[in-house]
């Protein structure tokens, strides 16, 4: 035996002496942290992205609720009727009240708002259900919505819908309930116009 091989035997752990390369490989723990990180990080990142998307959806829904409340007040106080606002002007006012969140989402600049404003005969007959959406060949909504600001004392129903873009992400969670991977956000306001 050469002095170098004796030195190698003394430095090597006793349980490795006489065993093969496979046994030494199985006892190595140098890369275990990297493997564990690779196994845990992918689901963690996917779950984080899904939570961010859900948070953004809730934020957008709350922004829509606030914008509808502010814009409905214009009808309630008679400002829309007095100014003779058209449907496009009313939609622009709603866009201005939305604090910018709907202005450039998915390349849409507030054109995605679907506004249904009409009087009801009584509070008992108010329809606040989700409407049936029809689509064109491209998968975009093409409904014709009512726009009638009513008269003083009328009971009004204002339903505002917005197709919010949804991104599937790594978990492929599909939050969309419309065509083209979009989620229909909807806010309804029922009120009586001031006399």
Judged against a pLDDT cut of 80, whether residue 45 lies above it is answered with: yes
What SS3 state is found at 53? Answer: helix
The predicted structure's pLDDT at residue 191: 94
DSSP 124: G
Q: 94-98, 104-108, 118-122, 134-138: which has the minimum mean pLDDT?
A: 104-108
Judged against a pLDDT cut of 60, whether residue 96 lies above it is answered with: yes
Compare 82 and 7 and report the one with higher pLDDT. 82
pTM of the model: 0.73
Average pLDDT over residues 51-65: 90
Torsion of CA 116, 121, 124, 125, to 10 degrees: -50
* Strands lying side by side in the sheet with 182-192: 114-120, 155-165, 182-192
Asked if 63 contacts 98 with a C-beta cutoff of 8 angstroms, the reply is: yes
Report the C-alpha gap between 37 and 45 in whole angstroms.
11
E-strand stretches of the chain: 114-120, 155-165, 182-192
Report the C-alpha gap between 138 and 172 in whole angstroms.
23
> How many C-beta atoms surround the C-beta of residue 62 within 10 A?
13
Judged against a pLDDT cut of 90, whether residue 14 lies above it is answered with: no
């Amino acid at each position: 035996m050469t002095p170098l091989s004796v030195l190698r035997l003394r430095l090597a752990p006793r349980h490795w002496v006489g065993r093969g390369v496979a046994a030494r490989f199985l006892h190595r723990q140098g890369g275990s942290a990297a493997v564990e990180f690779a196994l845990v990080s992918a689901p963690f990142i996917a779950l984080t992205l899904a939570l961010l998307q859900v948070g953004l959806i809730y934020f957008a829904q709350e922004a829509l609720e606030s914008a509808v409340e502010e814009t409905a007040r214009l009808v309630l106080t008679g400002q829309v009727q007095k100014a003779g606002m058209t449907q496009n002007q009313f939609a622009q006012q709603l866009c201005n009240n939305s604090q910018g969140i709907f202005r450039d989402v998915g390349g849409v600049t507030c054109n995605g708002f679907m506004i249904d404003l009409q009087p009801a005969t009584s509070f008992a007959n108010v329809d606040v259900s989700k409407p049936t959406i029809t689509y064109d060949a491209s998968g975009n909504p093409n409904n014709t919505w009512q726009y009638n600001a009513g008269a003083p004392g009328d009971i009004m129903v204002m339903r505002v819908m917005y197709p919010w873009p949804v991104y599937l992400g790594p978990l492929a969670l599909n939050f969309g309930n419309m065509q083209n991977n979009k989620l229909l956000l909807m806010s309804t306001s029922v009120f009586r116009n001031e006399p």
